[in-house]
Amino acid sequence: MARSETTKITKYRSLFPRSVAVRVGRSRDGGFCAEVKTFPGCFTQADSFSELIEMVNDAARTYFEIPQKFLPYMPTYLPPLKVAQAFDAFPVSKKETEIKLELPINSGATTRR
């Protein structure tokens, strides 16, 4: 990979905040919907919680207009294990909750508020 591309990857990765605030709810059809509060006007939906997390990550990459060729090098937000277990393994008692998705510690992204 050329040095200029490595520099671009580093630049794009630095755009990602350490964590994103996401409001997750159930849709009427049983799927999930999310408002990515960190990125104004950013909403997404999916059939399962794991797909929703993928869609939130896709929304973040789209928000920052990351070129297709650099997508594999971008960080991925993950929910806390407890939240993932609650949404995937147990009935949801609340219709809506707020969560914070975080980048793994060794992701290389910088903190941005």
**Residue 89 pLDDT exceeds 60:** no
**Picking from 18-32, 71-85, 87-101, which range would have the lowest pLDDT averaged per residue?**
87-101
Question: Which residue in 59, 63, 95 sits closest to 77, CA to CA?
Answer: 59
pLDDT tens readout for residues 19-46: 999 999 988 888 999 999 999 999 999 9
> Span 17-106: which CATH code?
3.30.160.250
Residue 58, helix vs strand vs coil: helix
How far apart CA 41 and CA 57 sit, in angstroms, is 15
Across 2-112, the runs of DSSP E, i.e. the strands, are 19-26, 32-36, 42-46, 96-102
Average pLDDT over residues 82-95: 63
